[in-house]
């Protein structure tokens, strides 16, 4: 691969405390940074508590395809109370706002009937928007993608995507992530399905990182300029790329989605050459890296 060293290599932090004087606002990812989908990481709750105690502004920004209250309840079950952050933004909430018109800027006009691709429990994302789920793409005005169905084969999914494209149905992606780690399981996300839909010629709207509306919303909650804010996440092509596009410095946490790529198989230390290559591949430039979210 072409050398990636046309940029400054990120600074390795021993803890987020090293940034507490330089930044007033912190945009922090959830999956792979604060928790693994099942339990909070050691040190993450302590780090959030230190930031709040120092009157730093903290917004949790997640590509979860769920409403923010549902995510808040899940966090509470892991010991992460709402006293540990000033705001919570999810891609699911951004979809809800866009399709229900609860935010200024107007309603995204796609029609009333949607076909849902994803776990059945996630179709309730549309509850309260005035949209109605249908069971066939032939009856739909648009497609909502929240994730994958384990019982659906790739052949069945491909046929469904082509059927949607034949009807020129717009697609709403409620989670731009390609993959997520839940515990030790690596699962494909809605972003991978939506990327495939675009590859066959479909039209899609994405809500969440790395897209600008997510960071604009976070900056609005923080009420701070980008220069006073740092973003902490584990995804180069989501957290870091989105921060770069919004003029926000970024910390890449090594223990999340890229952990198997960025750890040396010999001793578990950072594989700096592989990190350089991944940064170059994604064209996403963290100013700092950290092993995990800890003070």
Predicted pLDDT at 28:
98
Predicted pLDDT at 257:
62
Q: Is the pLDDT of residue 162 over 50?
A: yes
d(CA 120, CA 117): 8
User: Do 222 and 85 belong to one domain?
Assistant: yes
User: Do 215 and 161 belong to one domain?
Assistant: no
Q: Is the pLDDT of residue 27 over 90?
A: yes
User: Do 229 and 201 belong to one domain?
Assistant: no
Cis peptide before 279 (omega within 30 of 0): no
Q: What average pLDDT does the segment 266-279 reach?
A: 74
Q: Is the pLDDT of residue 266 over 60?
A: no
User: Do 246 and 200 belong to one domain?
Assistant: no
Give pLDDT tens digits for 62-87: 999 999 999 999 999 999 999 999 99
44 domain-assigned: yes
Could you tell me if 141 and 114 are in contact, meaning their C-beta atoms sit under 8 angstroms apart? yes
User: Do 149 and 284 belong to one domain?
Assistant: no
Listing from the earlier edge strand, what are the strands of the sheet with 142-145?
132-134, 113-117, 142-145, 171-173, 204-206
Roughly how many angstroms between the first and final C-alpha of the chain, as a whole number? Answer: 35
d(CA 208, CA 65): 9
Band (pLDDT 50/70/90 cuts) for residue 270 is: confident
Number of structural domains (the chain) is 2
**Domain carrying residue 253:** 14-92+209-290
* Non-local CB neighbours of 88 within 8 Å, separated by 6+ positions: 59, 60, 62, 68, 71, 72, 75, 82
Predicted pLDDT at 116:
96
Q: Kindly report the CA angle at 176 between 212 and 69, in degrees rounded to 5?
A: 85
Predicted pLDDT at 153:
85
103 domain-assigned: no
Give pLDDT tens digits for 114-153: 999 999 889 889 999 889 999 999 999 999 999 888 778 8
User: Do 200 and 213 belong to one domain?
Assistant: no
Q: Between 237 and 178, whose confidence is greater? A: 237
Predicted pLDDT at 254:
86
d(CA 255, CA 275): 13
User: Do 220 and 195 belong to one domain?
Assistant: no
267 token code pair: 């001793």
Predicted pLDDT at 106:
47
User: Do 117 and 161 belong to one domain?
Assistant: yes
Residue 100 burial class via C-beta count within 10 angstroms: exposed 0-12, middle 13-18, buried 19 and up: middle
Q: What are phi and psi of 47, to 5 degrees?
A: -65, -45
Predicted pLDDT at 269:
75
Band (pLDDT 50/70/90 cuts) for residue 161 is: very high
* pTM, rounded to two decimals: 0.89
Which of 159-173, 246-260, 281-295 is the least confident region? Answer: 246-260
Domain boundary among 174, 206, 238: 206
What is the CATH number for 67? Answer: 3.40.50.1000
Predicted pLDDT at 110:
87
Predicted pLDDT at 184:
62
Alpha carbon separation from 11 to 3, 233, 285 (Å, rounded): 19, 15, 11
5 domain-assigned: no
- Sole residue written with tokens 């994604």: 282
The number of beta carbons lying within 10 Å of the beta carbon of residue 182 is 13
């Amino acid at each position: 691969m072409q050398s990636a060293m046309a940029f400054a290599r990120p600074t390795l932090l021993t803890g987020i405390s090293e940034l507490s004087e330089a930044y007033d606002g912190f945009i922090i990812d959830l999956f792979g940074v604060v928790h693994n989908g099942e339990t909070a990481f050691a040190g993450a709750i302590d780090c959030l508590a230190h930031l709040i105690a120092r009157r730093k502004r903290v917004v949790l920004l997640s590509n979860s395809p769920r409403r923010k209250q549902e995510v808040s309840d899940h966090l509470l079950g892991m010991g992460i109370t709402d006293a540990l952050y000033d705001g919570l933004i999810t891609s699911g909430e951004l979809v809800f706002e866009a399709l229900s018109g609860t935010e200024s800027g107007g309603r995204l006009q796609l029609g009333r009937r949607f076909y849902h691709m994803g776990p059945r429990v996630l179709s309730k994302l549309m509850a309260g928007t005035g949209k109605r789920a249908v069971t066939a793409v032939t009856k739909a005005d648009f497609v909502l993608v929240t994730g994958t169905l384990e019982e659906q084969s790739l052949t069945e999914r491909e046929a469904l995507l082509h059927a949607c494209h034949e009807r020129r149905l717009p697609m709403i992606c409620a989670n731009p992530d390609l993959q997520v780690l839940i515990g030790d399981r690596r699962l494909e996300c809605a972003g991978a399905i939506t990327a495939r839909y675009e590859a066959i010629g479909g039209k899609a709207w994405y809500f969440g990182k790395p897209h600008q509306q997510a960071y604009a919303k976070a900056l609005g909650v923080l009420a701070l300029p980008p220069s006073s804010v740092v973003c902490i996440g584990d995804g180069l092509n989501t957290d870091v790329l989105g921060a770069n596009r919004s003029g926000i410095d970024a910390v890449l946490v090594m223990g999340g989605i890229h952990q198997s790529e960025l750890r040396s198989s010999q001793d578990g230390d950072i594989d700096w050459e592989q990190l350089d290559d991944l940064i170059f591949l994604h064209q996403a430039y963290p100013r700092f890296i950290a092993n995990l979210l800890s003070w």
